[in-house]
Amino acid sequence: MLHLHKEWSVSFAGCGFMGIYYVGAVSCVLERFPALLRDASAVCGASAGALMAAVVTLGLPLERCCADLMRVAQRARSRRLGPLHPAFDLLREVRDSLRLRLPEDAHVRASGRLCVSLTRVSDGKNVLVSEFGSREELVQALVCSCFVPLYCGVIPPTYRGVHYVDGAISDNLPRCHRSNTVTFSPYAGENDVCPRPRSLWFHQVRFSNVSIQLNSENLYRVTSTFFPPEPEAIAGICQSGYLDALRFLQEHGLISSDGPGSTVAGAACCERATRGEAEQRGTEHAWLNPQVIAQLPANVQKG
């Protein structure tokens, strides 16, 4: 049970392209009960979860985060081998996006509150970093946390001159064992905000502290972690995150369970626009089919 009269943390599990789930979940929390994220003493994450933790810590616009994720997924899908194609550089996509989106004082605002999970190459130990001397140092830490060996390349990136790889390898849900930590994961399991299983098969495994039930739905989610599905499916994952976060807030009495909030659809800024009209307006989701846009939470539809 979450106790808001005590200090609490939030933690986001690493999940690759399934990170769009967090866009929906976070948009719900910010809309319905923003104090859960705003007043958390620490915001932790590994890999894609670390990216969302940075978004939350710095208060970056969710609609831009959503657009960036979906554009990268589109670029990956455009290749015959998907993200494994030699011409597709996922790490460069992440680095370029961070350098574009992070404000100049990002390292100052993130230090002491944002906790990024890293795996040190030399000994395989987990390192949780929360102090950043510069904006570029923050970018380096986030890039290191996202580096999946072989999938992202051969030579690991560095943070403060030391080689690190994906934090999910050694601790995929930082601080999850501490009391009063709200855990987010796009995989059905024993996490606070996560999908509910549709089957009655209750066997589960734990991967680097993340509980994952063994069922067909999670098999699809794990596959989608590395190989992004169609845009319509990605939008559905985002919507699922919104509804799962809504259920968590209601079950913990943080919002009324009988008030509005059973739907996520709202008037999209480009819902009825053609692709050309949307591009002229500079909409973040201009490249998407308007029907796909309509599936996104209302507060991430606007550009």
Contacts of 168 (CB under 8 A, 6+ apart): 13, 14, 46, 47, 49, 117, 119, 145, 208
Active site residue 192: no
Active-site annotation holder among 68, 166, 171, 192: 166
Q: What are phi and psi of 292, to 5 degrees?
A: -70, -40
Q: Residue 265 is encoded by which pair of tokens? A: 């659809």
**Does residue 74 contact residue 231 with C-beta atoms inside 8 Å?**
yes
**Does residue 57 contact residue 25 with C-beta atoms inside 8 Å?**
no
Comparing CA positions, the residue from 239, 243, 48 lying closest to residue 151 is 48
Active-site annotation holder among 27, 47, 170, 240: 47
Active site residue 97: no
- Residue tagged 């039930």 (tokens): 213
3-state SS assignment for residue 292: helix
Active site residues: 47, 166
